[in-house]
C-alpha cells in the first residue's frame, strides 16, 4: 500500500499498522543478523563484499583492518642509507623535516644501493605533527631510505614526542665530527700556503688547481656539479652551480632558458636584432635550441623575472611559440611583420596556456 494512498481514518490506521510491522521486521532482521560479524579485512580481500549483513564494528585495538601496501602513514628514515642530500627537506610543503649536515673529512661509507656517503646527519628530525602525508619526500629520496610505513596509530600526550629523531649521532659525536672537519680544513689551508711559498718560483698554478679540486670533492657532491657546469655553462658562476643541487633540476632549466634568451635578448638588445632572431626561431625551432643554450646562462645571471615568464612559453612546443610571438608583437606594436603572418596561419589559443605553466617550475628550482 502506497503511503497516504488511503487518507481516511481507517486507512491511516491500517497504514500505521503495516508500516509499524515493517519497521519491526527490519530491526528484528538486524537483531538476528547480529550473530554474524564482519571480519577485519581490507578491500583488497576477495571476500570483502560478501559480508553485507551482521555487526560491522571493528574492535580496533584488538583487531585492525590491514593497511594497504602503499599506505601513507608515519615516515621512517633508514639513516644508514641516507646520504643527507637534503632533498626531502627542500621539497616538503610544510617544512616538517629538519636536517643539519656535517661534512666528513673522508668517505663515510656506502649505502645499500652503492651510493657514497660523504655527510653526517647531525640532525635529522621529522615533525610528524606537521606532516601532511603527501609523500613527496619519499619520491625525491635518491637512495629510497625515506619511506612511509604502515604505522598510523602513534598519537602522543606530549606534542614534542611527535618529532622523530633519526640521526645516529649523539650531539657530542656530531660536535666532534664538526671540529674534526674544521681542523682538517685548517690543516689544508696551512699546507697549501706552505706549498705556495715553496713553489712560488716553480710550477705554481698546476698544483694549486689540483688541490682546489680535491677540496671541492670532499665538501660536496663533486661528481655531479662539475659535469654539468663544464658543457652547458661555460660562463656560469659558482653561485648558480651551488643552487642547482641535482642533475635533474639542472637539466630542466636548460630547456627553458632557450626561450627566455630570445625574449630577453630582444628586449635588452636592439629591436632589429630581435626581429631577426624571432623570425628564424618561430619556424625552425628544434634547430635553434642548441644555439640558444649559451644565451640562457646570460639570462639567468641577469635575472629578468616578469618578462622572462611571458617569453618562455613560446619556445617549448613548436606551434606555441608562433602564437606567443603574436601577442608580444601586439603589445610591443608590431615591429615584426613576418611573425604576424605566421600567427595568422596558426590560430591555436589553447596551447599558449600550457607553456606558461612549465617555465614557472624551473624558475622556482633555480631560485
Partner 1 sequence: MVIFLIFLVFILAYALFAVYAERKVAAFMQDRYGPMEVGHYGLAQTIADILKLFIKEDIVPAKADKPLFKMAPVIIFTSVFAGFAALPIGPDIIGSGINLGVFYLMTIISLDVIGLLMAGWGSNNKYSLYGALRGVAQVLSYEVPLSLCILAVVMVSQTLDLTKIGLQQGIYLQSLAEYADWENYLFGIKALGINITEAGGFLTWNIFRMPLFMISFVIFFIASLAECNRAPFDIPEAESELVAGFHTEYSGFRFAILFLGEYALMLLVAFLGVILFLGSWNTPFPNIGPVKLAEWTSGAPGTIAGTAWGTFWLLFKVACWILIQMAARWTYPRLRIDQLLYLSWKVLTPAALIIVFIAGVWRLLMI
C-alpha cell at 41: 579485512
Q: Which is nearer to partner 1, 1 or 198 (CB)?
A: 1
Closest CB 14 distance from partner 1, rounded Å: 11
CA atoms of 57 and 50, how far apart (whole Å): 16
Q: Which is nearer to partner 1, 55 or 65 (CB)?
A: 55
Closest CB 12 distance from partner 1, rounded Å: 9
CA atoms of 252 and 195, how far apart (whole Å): 42
Supply the DSSP symbol for 50.
Answer: G
Closest CB 59 distance from partner 1, rounded Å: 7
Interface residues with partner 1 (CB under 8 A) are: 9, 13, 20, 23-24, 26-28, 30-31, 33-34, 54-57, 59
Q: Please report the sign of the dihedral spanned by the C-alpha atoms of residue 299, residue 303, residue 306, residue 309.
A: positive
Closest CB 1 distance from partner 1, rounded Å: 18
User: 135 CB contacts (<8 Å, ≥6 apart)?
Assistant: 72, 148
In contact, 180 and 169? CB cutoff 8 Å: no
In contact, 129 and 164? CB cutoff 8 Å: no
Q: Which is nearer to partner 1, 50 or 301 (CB)?
A: 50
CA atoms of 242 and 366, how far apart (whole Å): 10
In contact, 97 and 89? CB cutoff 8 Å: yes
Q: Which is nearer to partner 1, 63 or 107 (CB)?
A: 63
Q: Which is nearer to partner 1, 54 or 304 (CB)?
A: 54
DSSP string for 182-227 = HHHHHHHHHHHHHHHHHTSSS-HHHHHHHHHHHHHHHHTTTTHHHH
Closest CB 67 distance from partner 1, rounded Å: 23
Closest CB 57 distance from partner 1, rounded Å: 5
Q: Which is nearer to partner 1, 56 or 357 (CB)?
A: 56
Amino acid at each position: 500500500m502506497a503511503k497516504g494512498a488511503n487518507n481516511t481514518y481507517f486507512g491511516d490506521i491500517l497504514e500505521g499498522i503495516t508500516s509499524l510491522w515493517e519497521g519491526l521486521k527490519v530491526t528484528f532482521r538486524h537483531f538476528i543478523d547480529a550473530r554474524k560479524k564482519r571480519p577485519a579485512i581490507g578491500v583488497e580481500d576477495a571476500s570483502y563484499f560478501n559480508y553485507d549483513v551482521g555487526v560491522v564494528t571493528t574492535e580496533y585495538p584488538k583487531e585492525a583492518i590491514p593497511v594497504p601496501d602503499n599506505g601513507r602513514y608515519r615516515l621512517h628514515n633508514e639513516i644508514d642509507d641516507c646520504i643527507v642530500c637534503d632533498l626531502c627537506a627542500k621539497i616538503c610543503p610544510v617544512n616538517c623535516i629538519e636536517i643539519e649536515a656535517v661534512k666528513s673529512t673522508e668517505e663515510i661509507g656506502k649505502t645499500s644501493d652503492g651510493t657514497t656517503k660523504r655527510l653526517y646527519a647531525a640532525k635529522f628530525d621529522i615533525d610528524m605533527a606537521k606532516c601532511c602525508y603527501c609523500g613527496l619526500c619519499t619520491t625525491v629520496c635518491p637512495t629510497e631510505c625515506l619511506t612511509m610505513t604502515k604505522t598510523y596509530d602513534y598519537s602522543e600526550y606530549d606534542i614534542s614526542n611527535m618529532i622523530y629523531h633519526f640521526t645516529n649521532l649523539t650531539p657530542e659525536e656530531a660536535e666532534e665530527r664538526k671540529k674534526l672537519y674544521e681542523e682538517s680544513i685548517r690543516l689544508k689551508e696551512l699546507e697549501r700556503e706552505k706549498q705556495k711559498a715553496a713553489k712560488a718560483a716553480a710550477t705554481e698554478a698546476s698544483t694549486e688547481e689540483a688541490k682546489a679540486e680535491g677540496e671541492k670533492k670532499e665538501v660536496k657532491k663533486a661528481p655531479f656539479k662539475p659535469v654539468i657546469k663544464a658543457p652547458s655553462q661555460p660562463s656560469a658562476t659558482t653561485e648558480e652551480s651551488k643552487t642547482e643541487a641535482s642533475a635533474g633540476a639542472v637539466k630542466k632549466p636548460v630547456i627553458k632558458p632557450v626561450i627566455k634568451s630570445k625574449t630577453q635578448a630582444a628586449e635588452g638588445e636592439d629591436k632589429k636584432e630581435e626581429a631577426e632572431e624571432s623570425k628564424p626561431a618561430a619556424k625552425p625551432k628544434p634547430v635553434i635550441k642548441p644555439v640558444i643554450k649559451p644565451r640562457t646562462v646570460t639570462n639567468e645571471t641577469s635575472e629578468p623575472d616578469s618578462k622572462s615568464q611571458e617569453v618562455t612559453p613560446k619556445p617549448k612546443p613548436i606551434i606555441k611559440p608562433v602564437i606567443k610571438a603574436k601577442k608580444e608583437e601586439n603589445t610591443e606594436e608590431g615591429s615584426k611583420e613576418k611573425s604576424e603572418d605566421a600567427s595568422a596561419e596558426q590560430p591555436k589559443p589553447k596551447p599558449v596556456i600550457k607553456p606558461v605553466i612549465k617555465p614557472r617550475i624551473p624558475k622556482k628550482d633555480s631560485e
